Structure 1
Amino acid sequence: MKKILSSLALLTSFHVSAEAPQNIIMVVSDGMGPAYTTAYRYYNDDPATPEIETTIFDKYHVGSSSTYPAKVSGLVTDSAASATALASGVKSYNGAIGVDVNEQPVKSVLHQAKQIGKKTGIVVTSQINHATPAAYMVHNKSRQNYDEIADSYFDNRINDQFIADLMLGGGWQYFIRKDRNVVNDFKSSGFHYLDDYNQLSNLPKDKPVLGLFADKGMPQALDYGDKYRLSTMTAAALDYLPNDKGMFLLIEASQVDWGGHSNDIAYSMSEMSDLEKTMAVLEKFVEQNPDTLVVLTADHSTGGMTIGANGDYAWHPTWIKNLTASTQSMAQEIGDNGLDVLKLQQALGFQLTPEEQDELTTQMDKALAYWTENEIKFLAKGYSQASTVTRKMRKAITQLIDKRTNTGWTTSGHTGVDVPVYAFGKNSELFIGQLDNVDIATTIFNLLK
């Protein structure tokens, strides 16, 4: 079936090659399986109206995609293998960054866009050398080689040009190191560098741009001054990149996945809100620039999330609509200063029942006892009492929210389910139906000939 779909994509591309879009925007929402977009619809619903309002995702849903990696890694992919498939059209092993199963480099659609003269950019809420952006940008046998990947962003070239004209996200830890300051390398080569998020509105059009706004990944949307930082960075990229030869822009909603790994429904829904805002920015751009294709999909699903758990036919997202901080921030406050129920209720946006307060007190006592029992071992590993209590209490808070909302999880890892595909703009019809992740890359390659 995959061969048939790939062949169809190839044949169709001959028909539309003269009409290929000038601008291609690829959006990857890391970890966003079908339960996430469904949950977001209900989370976003106006309870004052009788109908369930649709979201921008519903408007542009065109199909689904399988995500399995190369056979050597089984049926459940990691972000690196899936991003390599989405970027290059080549199945590889889990952990692979832009290389095949033999660790040989494979060309990405971003490389092809740069090779034919388009401007290129990446906008992510993770560090810019994380698995997904890295697979579009460079080649490495392991996603864990963060310093090597950061170096290759500068050292590698395409047609004697840097791989990307614009890079926005996090990553100070990997680009400003004792052994090498890659930021200084970029600056000395003519890049405009910014580490102040508020300077995004003043990007120079005559210089390539590197913007790093966090040590690793950017803070969660719930904790950031701008709750829509992905859409803000996207708007800046869309103002900067357009030119006569067109552009290729990779956008990643990186932290939908991180919420899934933490089994944190509030985290994931706030990141989905930022993604929807980003899609609205892209929709407006396509209206004004119809020679543009936008494709959105996920690399895999994370957490095995269910909206309705424990045999109860119900889901109650209203309990996560009024949070004023992330569960991580709430837990950090407890780790640093102890359990203050009034402060916690203010952050949650709802009153805790006596039973919930008792449960949190019990979990706090257990966390302190756990630290006392393992203090010598934890100190040797660099853990503190505060960090230990924070980890335990974050889990307690997310479980409390799960009970309130009736959210279920099957894993803290990835699952092998198919993921949704969304597309709009020029040639968006090429992504209709049941696809595999390599088919998405194959079709984009054909549009970039």
Structure 2
Amino acid sequence: MRLARFSAVSDKALVVALLLMPVLLSAAPLTTNTSATPPAVKVAGAPKNIIFMIGDGMGPAYLTAYRFMQTDPGNTDIQTTIFDDLWLGMASTTPDDDTLVTDSAASATALATGVKSFNGAISVDSNHMPIGTMLQLAKRQGKATGVVASSQVNHATPAAFLAHNNSRRNMNAIADMYLDYQIQGKPVADIIFGGGREHFIREDRNLVAEFSAKGYQYADNWRDVSKLTRKPALALLAPAGLPSALNNPHPAPLATLAEQALKLLTPAEKGFVLMIEGSLIDWCGHDNDIACAMAEMHDFAKAVAVAKAYVDAHPDTLLIITADHETGGLSLGANNVYQWLPAVVRGVSATSRAIADELNAVSTETEALQRWQALTGIVITEQEQQQLLAERNKTQAELRKVVNELISRYSYTGWTTGGHTAADVPVLAYGMGKTQFSGFMDNTDIAKRLLQFIQQTPQ
């Protein structure tokens, strides 16, 4: 493995590479790195449609925690979830450097292209050359394509399926590429649903107007999402990421977007490839916020149920589900106590960010403690009360940290980091071709098998 850095190539060199990309992608549709191109093996029973779902940060402990959260407290038997029913294997997530711990950009690049790259890379390889993605290949094969995300639609994971850049941080440039890189005169994605409006309507450019001129229907609120009647369609429902499911007034936001995307993609004659990301699982993990994470898992599970029902109605469809990495080093049980208490987590009705904001918004300490009790249901000691109150009127991050520490302490939830870990992640599948994803594999193997399916689109 080799260590790659963002500064290894100039922006000018990247521009040259991007200018060459249509030729490169045409010559080698799976990747511009031909040595890494998987053989075009004929796979029996290639699905017409592919729904690729990614739970950002969703390590195995998240699925276990969700199982306990969903079990009826009055039932002594642990109940399985939709994740348990579809779980087939595990995947490794290492990037192309010596860290072993990937970020979302490198892992999404692996999942979108079948090629490993460096942390921060958006579908460029370790030499900073663009790599063809599965949505680009699908578009060339005549399939319909789409991305749905609860983050900004140009955040690391969806970006790796549609764009190329040396750094995930160049979010305006990535948004530009969603429109500017075209195949047969059309943008790669027929459906783009999620957040990130501030990157598409800017002082220097109004991409929404340009997409509209290309024939895209547009929605900027939940009411209008249901009014989108055909593809191509663009929905940007928040300036940045969508609100957390625990605070979001719209019920089942990801499931709503997934259902609408599938509805609009279904008429495609040659089928479609749709990537759906439960983005905010990762954001909750970074905060070490277990209640937030479980709410996002529930939102993701509802979207998975929508996708599974679609496969039941359309048997020529493959549903594949995985994570890009694990976030937070989540453990169920902590501080040498053999216990985990999902009931404590169920009693928390807001994210730690929202709780911190409410505790800072009230004028007295008595009101703050009343808000704590109302929002968490946790009775804390006098010493813990003073610890909590001491962080009021400081930064939200400082107060949020104490809020999460208290919730974790009372639920016996453990966290090892506010970042990512190198833990393997689950692989789930359902429908046509699911047997290709059982057992242990690398994350690039998932992409290579999907790319082989896409290559077999009838011409």
Same fold (TM over 0.5): yes
Would you say 1:220 and 2:244 are equivalent positions? yes
Would you say 1:361 and 2:361 are equivalent positions? no
* Residue 341 (structure 1) aligned to one of 369, 372, 380: 369
Letter in 2 for 1:252: E
* TM-score (normalised: structure 2): 0.88
Give 2:420's aligned residue.
414
| Partner SS, residue 54 of structure 2 | strand
How far apart in 1 are the matches of 2:391 and 2:343?
Answer: 25
How far apart in 1 are the matches of 2:401 and 2:252?
Answer: 25
> Are the counterparts in 2 of residues 30 and 299 from structure 1 also a CA contact under 8 Å?
yes
Q: Which protein is richer in helix relative to its size?
A: 1
How far apart in 2 are the matches of 1:448 and 1:178?
Answer: 38
| Partner SS, residue 338 of structure 2 | coil
Give 2:307's aligned residue.
282
Would you say 1:190 and 2:218 are equivalent positions? no
> Are the counterparts in 2 of residues 26 and 296 from structure 1 also a CA contact under 8 Å?
yes
> Are the counterparts in 2 of residues 33 and 419 from structure 1 also a CA contact under 8 Å?
yes
| Partner SS, residue 26 of structure 1 | strand
How far apart in 1 are the matches of 2:175 and 2:115?
Answer: 23
Unmatched 5+ residue regions in structure 1?
1-8, 372-387
Give 1:209's aligned residue.
233
How far apart in 2 are the matches of 1:362 and 1:44?
Answer: 35
> Are the counterparts in 2 of residues 121 and 164 from structure 1 also a CA contact under 8 Å?
yes
Shifted more, 343-352 versus 163-172: the winner is 343-352
> Are the counterparts in 2 of residues 13 and 447 from structure 1 also a CA contact under 8 Å?
no
| Partner SS, residue 198 of structure 1 | helix
| Partner SS, residue 14 of structure 1 | coil
Would you say 1:395 and 2:401 are equivalent positions? yes
Shifted more, 349-358 versus 310-319: the winner is 349-358
Unmatched 5+ residue regions in structure 2?
1-36
> Are the counterparts in 1 of residues 43 and 453 from structure 2 also a CA contact under 8 Å?
no
How far apart in 2 are the matches of 1:23 and 1:201?
Answer: 22
How far apart in 1 are the matches of 2:181 and 2:281?
Answer: 30
Give 1:443's aligned residue.
449
User: Aligned-residue CA RMSD in angstroms?
Assistant: 1.6
| Partner SS, residue 183 of structure 2 | coil
Give 2:42's aligned residue.
14
Residues 12-411 of structure 1 aligned to structure 2 (within 5 Å): 13-16=41-44, 19-71=45-97, 73-205=98-230, 207-243=231-267, 244-338=269-363, 339=365, 340-364=368-392, 368=393, 388=395, 390-411=396-417
Would you say 1:432 and 2:438 are equivalent positions? yes
How far apart in 2 are the matches of 1:123 and 1:25?
Answer: 11
How far apart in 1 are the matches of 2:276 and 2:206?
Answer: 25
How far apart in 1 are the matches of 2:49 and 2:202?
Answer: 35
Measure how far apart 1:361 and its partner are. Answer: 2.1
How far apart in 2 are the matches of 1:263 and 1:13?
Answer: 43
Matched residue count: 415
Measure how far apart 1:153 and its partner are. Answer: 0.6
CA deviation map 1:216-248 (0-9, x unaligned): 100000111124100111111111111221111
Letter in 1 for 2:89: G
Measure how far apart 1:45 and its partner are. Answer: 1.2
CA deviation map 1:382-409 (0-9, x unaligned): xxxxxx2x22211111111001110111
Letter in 2 for 1:68: T
How far apart in 2 are the matches of 1:112 and 1:165?
Answer: 14
How far apart in 2 are the matches of 1:434 and 1:443?
Answer: 14
CA deviation map 1:123-150 (0-9, x unaligned): 1000000000000001111100001001
CA deviation map 1:253-292 (0-9, x unaligned): 0011001111111111100001111111111111111110
How far apart in 1 are the matches of 2:445 and 2:438?
Answer: 11
* TM-score (normalised: structure 1): 0.89
| Partner SS, residue 398 of structure 2 | helix
Letter in 2 for 1:224: N
Letter in 2 for 1:270: A
> Are the counterparts in 2 of residues 120 and 247 from structure 1 also a CA contact under 8 Å?
yes
Give 1:376's aligned residue.
none
Letter in 1 for 2:451: F
| Partner SS, residue 121 of structure 1 | strand
How far apart in 2 are the matches of 1:224 and 1:15?
Answer: 42
Percentage of pairs with the same residue: 45
